[in-house]
Amino acid sequence: MLLMCHLFIGSIIGLVAFRLLNDRRVIALTVIGSMLPDLIDKPLGHIILNSSIDYGRIYAHSGLFFIALIAVGIAYHQKKGSWIMMGLAAGVLSHLALDSMWELPVTVFYPFLGDFGLHHFPNYIGESFAMEIGSVYEWLFGMAVLAMLLFTYRDKLPGSFGKAIGFIPGILRALALLLIVVGIVSIIYSGLSSFNPLSGETAVEQNLIIGLAASVGGAFAYCIWNNDVTKMMAG
């Protein structure tokens, strides 16, 4: 799954967690968690271990890593009385789901089913960049994440800039509705087993996951941004 999709779902989880915990810091933690497996495994697997594993879904994509983060969250709660560190685990879980990690039991249950094996991605960075800029969904996810973060942290912005983005809630609602629509389109392409020109994907499962991320995430985003922004920001 691509970068902005991970960040978008991490942001949505963070907003929901914010509503539950009334602590804005959890948003940053879920966003970081949504990218943490790639931030660790991509440089490690494709650069440091390029001559051996050359794979970007290894240690930080494993069940052990996820369980370790849950343990960190529990320990933090026992010490500080707050569940915000569970945001990291929640973000990582969303990453594993979007990456369809159920298809890679060797990684999920590492090291119990053996090692990761040998892989070969001669132009991983170039191909990934091409996929990023070629997907309409990634641009929409990215704009939604940026707008959400600008509005959520508007009081932290310098000078009068924070006051000059009052139009952001309207943009957020429009982006959320657009994501719902294009998400349904991706689900339809998945059902037809056809190439989706908006995502550049032909794989049924990938179009389905993208479609669900866009439509379900967009629906959550619309409900939160449309009805509860003022209440959320009061915390």
Predicted confidence (pLDDT) at residue 214 exceeds the cutoff of 50: yes
Q: Are 25 and 88 in contact (CB under 8 A)?
A: no
Between the CA of residue 8 and those of 12, 108, 111, what are the distances in Å?
A: 6, 23, 30
Q: Which of 10-24, 126-140, 217-231 has the highest mean pLDDT?
A: 10-24
Q: Are 198 and 178 in contact (CB under 8 A)?
A: no
Compute the distance between CA of residue 163 and CA of residue 166 in angstroms, rounded to an integer: 7
> What is the SS3 assignment for 84?
coil
Q: Identity (one letter) of the amino acid at 199?
A: S
Percent of the chain predicted with pLDDT > 70: 86
Give the tens place of pLDDT for each residue, 180-210: 999 999 999 999 998 888 888 888 998 999 9
Interval 140-149 mean pLDDT = 88
Using the structure block, give the residue that is written with the tokens 């704009």: 143
Between the CA of residue 43 and those of 13, 25, 32, 168, 190, what are the distances in Å?
A: 26, 27, 16, 35, 31
Give the tens place of pLDDT for each residue, 109-131: 999 998 887 777 666 666 666 66
The residues spanned by each domain of the chain are 1-130, 135-235
Q: Predicted confidence band at 153 (pLDDT cuts at 50, 70, 90)?
A: confident
Using the structure block, give the residue that is written with the tokens 């449309």: 226
Percent of the chain predicted with pLDDT > 90: 51
Predicted confidence (pLDDT) at residue 233 exceeds the cutoff of 50: no
